Structure 1
Amino acid sequence: MEILISAILIILILFVVGYIIRKKYYKEVDQLDSQKLELMNRPVAEEMAKVKQLNMTGETEEMFERWRSTWDDILTVRLPKVDEMIFASEEFADKYRFKQAKESNQQVKESLHEIEKDMDAILQELNEVVGSEEENRKEMTDVFKQYQENKKYLLAHRHLFGIAGEKLEELLKAVEVKINHYEELTDQGNYLQAREVVLVLTSEMEELGDKMEKVPDLLTECQSILPSQIDDLKSGYKEMTQQGFILEHLQLEKQIEELSQEIERCQESLQNAEITSVEKGLQGTKDKIETLYDLLEKEVYGKHYILQEIENVENTLEQLLEKNNDMNHETKIVQNSYQLQDKDLEIPKKLDKSFNQLVKRYEFLQAKLTDQMTPYSQLEEELKDIAEQLKIIKEDQTKFTERLHNLRKDELSAKESIHACQRKIKEIIRLVHNSHMPGLPSDCESLYERAKEQIENVYKSLNEKPLNMNLVQKYLDEAQDTVDHLYAKTEEYIETAQLAERVIQYANRYRRQSSELATNLEEAEQAFRSYEYMAALEQAATAVEKIEPGALKRIEEIYESEEYSRS
């Protein structure tokens, strides 16, 4: 019984699996049949009918026969064969012969792919032929119209094109030959070949139109404008030479000859209507002419600058020479009173050397002006550089002279600063005296002695001959730092002492009430008399806070209020 049930289950499973697989192949067969119908419905015949409206000769006739033959083969042979293979696939699926069904479907796919490929090729070629005929007809209308206009304009205005006229006529005739060739190809039904001719004609007509537009202007430049500019250049060169300008370095005659040759080459190219090379050649010629004009103009400006500025430069040389001598004399005087550093002493030497070199350069320039063998442009550059160097020397002289003068200012400033330090020490003594302090702690006494010693060092260094201001400034900085520190310390001790005294006085009211407080106050007073003001303040504050908490804060507020009122 179990064996029978197992067998039935296996049969059922096989049946279900077979049914699913067969259904899959049915679906694939349906898809292939739909693809076949889609190919059959393509408008190949309709597109081929359009070609019949063209000239059915030559290339078009050959292509049409090939298309028709391929299409007939597809319809009568290849598609029916596909139908047979699709039917066979269905039978194989019905009989559960899935391997044969798979192979048959693969053959159908390959056949449909090849048929689709051939149909695409036919349609593409059809579109090319029909499209070429339409585009050719449209574009050739524009080409022929442009040809007629150019031909008419050339005949009516032949004088505008000069030496290029004959070449332009040749180009128009070549266009006419191509137009006739296009018509022959079209009459023969060779539309694709005609398409190539149309593309060439479109490009050539565009190029020809550009040539006819540019030739008259280029002809005017070649035969009139540029030769006239070259003649003006020759005249200007000759006139400037007679006026004494040195122009040999420009090699102007050689360059003018090269320009004339370049214009001749441009005319030869223009005769052949080679517009691009003519434009390039003429632009180069115009640039060279402009450069030569600039060079001649530079010589004129150079002469003008020299005539205008050489006297100013000479006057500046004389003024700076006098100033240099004064500066050297003043340096020697200052050396007797002040100790100058080596780098300061090097400055007058360097300025003397630079100045002497400029004097020689100026004398050499004067000699060149007398010889009249050097171009003014070169002399202008040399004179400008001399003037610039003189300006630098003048600035250096001014800075060094100010440095010498500042030494005396620094000395006076140092004396004023050290007097201020002495006044500040007197102020410290006055503050201590007015505070009724018993004395100052040892660290303040030490600062006071150091400040006196440093002030003495400043006075000694100020009295030395020659005076070393760097050393004076060093001693002065040390003295100012010490005095400032002493002043701050003194103010701090005075404030602490006065507050300690206030707290002790306040605590005296409780002296009889507490023997401990009395003992602490005696210790605070002893510290006060020993100049230990901070210790006295801490001792007295601790004692009074035990009896009256918050008393110290109130005393401080009263003290600060009184200090504020005094200020």
Structure 2
Amino acid sequence: MIGVLIGIVILAIVIYVGVLIYQQRIRRQVVALTTKKESMVAIPLKDELALVGQLSLTGQSLERYQSLQTDYADITTNRFPRIDEQLNQLLADARGVNVLQLKKNLDKVTLLVNQTDELVQSVQEKLASLQEVDKQHREAVQQLEHKYQDLRKTLLAKNFAFGPSIDGLEERLGQLEGNFDTFTQLTQEGDHERAADVLSQLQDDTKQLDDLIDTIPPLYKDLTVVFPDQLKELKAGYQQLSAEHFHFGDQDILAQVTAIEQHIQENLATLSDLRPADAQVVNERIAKQIDQIYDLMQTEIDAKQPVEKNLDGIAKFIAHAQNQSHMLLNELDRLGQNYTLDHHELETARELNEQLRHIDGIYQQDVQTLTGKTATYSQILAHQQQQEKDLEQIEKQQADILKSVAGLADEERQARDTLQQFDFDLHSLRRQVENLNLPGIPQSYLDYFFVVRDEVAQLATDMDQPQIDMERITKQLLIIQTDLDTLREKTEDLVDSSQLAEQLLQYANRYQTSHANVAEASQKASDLFEHQYQYAQALETIATVLDEVEPGSYKRLEDAYYQRKGTDKPHRTTKD
């Protein structure tokens, strides 16, 4: 029981202490809110309202000012007293223990103080804004008035520099001055809301007029001074060049000058309409057209000297190429009677000769225009430059053709010498085989020999034709040389195998009575030798059995054979 009482006492003490602490906190917050309210009171809104009220505001600006006066009255006659009342009541209530009610009242007065502070700040900022706008507008009046005076002075002092644009510029200036008067009146009346709208448009229009005054004079100067002077110079230059018999092909310079003059007049009308951007584009086009005419005339002037200088050189070049062409055609005609020309040499030479005739025709026409003083020098110079390139190419092709046929006679002589050597080699090989006194010749060897013989005979026939095809002859020579080398190898094989086979058969006689296998192999080899003419097989047959009876005998006899013959042993595969 005593413990419960102690607990209740302690709880009561804790609650009491908590209430005291909360009451103290409430009082501190009341002090803070009171201080914030006093700082709002200290703001001199009344004085600022009085200053703005002296601006003689009208229209929307006056309506804004009156709204701010209403806000100020609400702040001073309503909000401030309510704040004081609620703060005093909150201090009185802080002595009680109704914590929930205290919290609710504190939140309420805090919200009121904060809203009032925001309203005070807004009123102060808007009053400052009205003062700043009034200041800016009055400064703008002075600046614009000074600007218009400068623009007016420029138009009056330099009206000659604007040409047909002056009327439009002065009209623009008059419109601006009318708008400026409206702006000035609104500013003086204090209707800054409407004045601001007028000022924005006024500033844009003023900048546009200022830009027009800056950009039009140089464009007008080009159209009335620079371009006409250049066209005058071009006309005089054209007259002088025409008197000196210069011509310009299909370019009508005077018509181009007239067209440019028309463009100038049209562009002056564009300036009169105050469209300098469009006029700038046309001016640039006119300047480019004038430069093109200058370039055209200068091109003809520059072309005259090289044209006259090149005449003699081109004539000699053409004559030399024509002489070369005549010699080439004659040489090809002569060679064509004895040789077949397989690479269209004659057709190509005739085409080159036709090109020369065309080049000479253009050259003669150019000479006539020069003589008749109707020449366009740049065209003739282009002809000459192309003629030099074409003549160089023609002479190169002529030289290539001559080079390709120049060695035909030498090739023929060499081919006949080679043919004679082939015939000698065939006879030599035939005598070599005949001297062996063999019982017969293998058919395979005879077939190959006759093939080579026929090839040599065909070559001789082709060489005796009225027109020799040296390209075909050269191919035949290569084929025959290869086949003859092969025939020579076959002949050597025939000689070696037949001689060795004959020697080994004689050597085998010593073993025929004592070795039956030797007798049998000798019989077989003799048949191959005497009746079938297979000398290599006969050699292999007897050599194999001799090495069985007397190992190394075949190699010894073979080495001795080649030593007597005085040649190296050829590579041959045989059975051991």
| Corresponding position of 1:305 | 306
Counting only pairs closer than 5 Å after superposition, residues 349-360 of structure 1 correspond to structure 2 as 349-360=350-361
**Distance of 1:206 and 1:547 partners within structure 2:** 131
Which residue in 1 is equivalent to 2:103? none
The equivalent of 2:458 in structure 1 is 457
C-alpha distance in 2, partners of 1:212/1:431? Answer: 118
8 A Cα contact 1:504 1:540, kept in partner? yes
Counterpart AA for 1:311: D
Partner of 2:251: 250
Whole-Å separation in 2 of the counterparts to 1:203 and 1:513: 141
Structure 1 stretch displaced more, 508-517 or 383-392: 508-517
Give the counterpart letter for 1:319 in structure 2: H
Q: 1:290 to 1:432 in 2, by over 3 A?
A: farther
Cα separation, 1, equivalents of 2:473 and 2:287: 72
Cα pair distance change 1:494/1:283, threshold 3 Å: farther
Q: Deviations over 1:365-409 (max 9, x none)?
A: 333222223433344445555555544543444344334423224
Q: 1:490: Cα distance to partner?
A: 6.3
1:397-446 deviation per Cα after TM superposition (whole angstroms, max 9, x unaligned): 4344334423224324534654675688699899999x9x9997533332
TM-score by length of 2: 0.55
Find the aligned partners of 2:167 and 2:422 in 1 and give their Cα distance.
Answer: 106
Provide the C-alpha distance between the structure 2 equivalents of 1:506 and 1:182, rounded to a whole number of angstroms: 149
Q: Which structure 2 residues correspond to residues 309-388 of structure 1 after superposition, within 5 A? A: 309-340=310-341, 343-347=344-348, 349-384=350-385, 387=388
Aligned 1:115-154 pairs, distance under 5 A = 154=151
- What are the within-5 Å matches in structure 2 for residues 96-245 of structure 1? 154=151, 162-163=161-162, 164=165, 167-168=168-169, 170-171=171-172, 174=175, 187=191, 194=197, 198=200, 211-245=212-246
1:531-560 alpha-carbon deviations (Å, 9 max, x no partner): 647756886898799999xxx9xxxxxx9x
Residues of 2 paired with 1:395 and 1:532: CA distance? Answer: 62
Shift of 1:236: 1.6
Question: Structure 1 residues 248 and 348, CA, compared in 2 at 3 Å: closer, same or farther?
Answer: closer
CA distance in 2, matches of 1:439, 1:455: 24
**Take 1:204 and 1:165, find their aligned partners in 2: how far apart are those partners?**
17
Deviation string 1:144-188 (CA, Å, 9 cap, x unpaired) is 799789757746766678215664565466566667669969947
Q: Secondary structure at the match of 2:374?
A: coil
- Residues 513 and 361 (structure 1), Cα distance of their counterparts in 2 relative to 1, 3 Å cut: same
**Whole-angstrom CA distance in 2 between matches of 1:480 and 1:537:** 30
CA contact (8 A) 1:448 1:486 kept: yes
* Distance of aligned partners of 1:468 and 1:157 in 2 relative to their CA distance in 1, 3 Å threshold: same
Q: Which residue type is aligned with residue 282 of structure 1?
A: N
* Change beyond 3 A, Cα 1:190–1:421: farther
Change beyond 3 A, Cα 1:410–1:250: same
TM-score by length of 1: 0.55
Match of 1:446 in 2: 447
Q: Distance in 2 between matches of 1:189 and 1:463?
A: 120
The match for 1:264 is 265
Pick closer, same or farther for the CA change 1:153–1:464 going to 2, 3 Å. farther
- 2:477 is aligned to 476
Distance 1:514 1:201 in 2: 143
Provide Cα deviations, 1:66-98, integer angstroms capped at 9, x if missing partner.
xxxxxxxxxxxxxxxxxxxxxxxxxxxxxxxxx
**Paired letter, 2:453:** K
State the match for 1:285 in structure 2: 286
C-alpha separation between the residues in 2 aligned to 1:415 and 1:384? Answer: 49
Query: Counterpart of 2:366 in 1: which secondary structure?
Result: helix
Say if 1:537 and 1:226 are closer, same or farther in 2 by CA, change over 3 A: farther
Shift of 1:277: 1.4
Contact 1:182 1:194 survives alignment (8 Å): no
Give, as a single letter, the amino acid of the residue that structure 2 aligns with 1:246.
Answer: H
Return the alpha-carbon distance in structure 2 between the equivalents of residues 55 and 487 of structure 1.
133
Percent sequence identity is 20
Paired residues, what number?
A: 428
Gaps of 5+ in 1: 1-52, 65-129, 553-558
The residue aligned with 1:408 is 409
Which amino acid in 2 is paired with 1:320? A
- TM-superposed CA distance for 1:289, in Å, is 0.9
Structure 1 stretch displaced more, 268-277 or 177-186 = 177-186
The superposition leaves residues 471-494 of structure 1 with CA deviations (integer Å, 9 ceiling, x where unpaired) of: 534543442343354456668889
> What is the identity, as a one-letter code, of the residue corresponding to 1:365?
D
Deviation of 1:281 (Å): 1.0
What SS does the aligned partner of 1:250 have? coil
State the one-letter code of the partner of 1:315. Answer: K
Alpha-carbon distance in 1 for matches of 2:338, 2:496: 47
TM alignment of 1:543-554, pairs within 5 A: none
Whole-Å separation in 2 of the counterparts to 1:512 and 1:242: 128
Cα distance in 2 between the residues matched to 1:349 and 1:182: 96
**Which residue identity lines up with residue 298 of structure 1 in the other structure?**
T
Local SS of the residue matching 1:414 = helix
CA distance in 1, matches of 2:348, 2:374: 38
Please identify, of 215-224 and 288-297, the stretch whose mean Cα deviation from structure 2 is larger.
Answer: 215-224
Distance change >3 Å, CA 307–CA 374, structure 1 → 2: closer
Aligned to 1:28: none
- Could you tell me which amino acid in structure 1 is paired with residue 367 of structure 2? Q
Q: Is the 8 A contact 1:336 1:466 kept in 2?
A: yes
Aligned-pair CA distance for 1:271 = 4.2
CA contact (8 A) 2:329 2:349 kept: yes
Q: SS of the residue aligned with 1:287?
A: helix
1:14 corresponding residue in structure 2: none
**8 A Cα contact 1:160 1:216, kept in partner:** no
Structure 1 match to 2:399: 398
Match of 1:376, as an amino acid?
Answer: Y
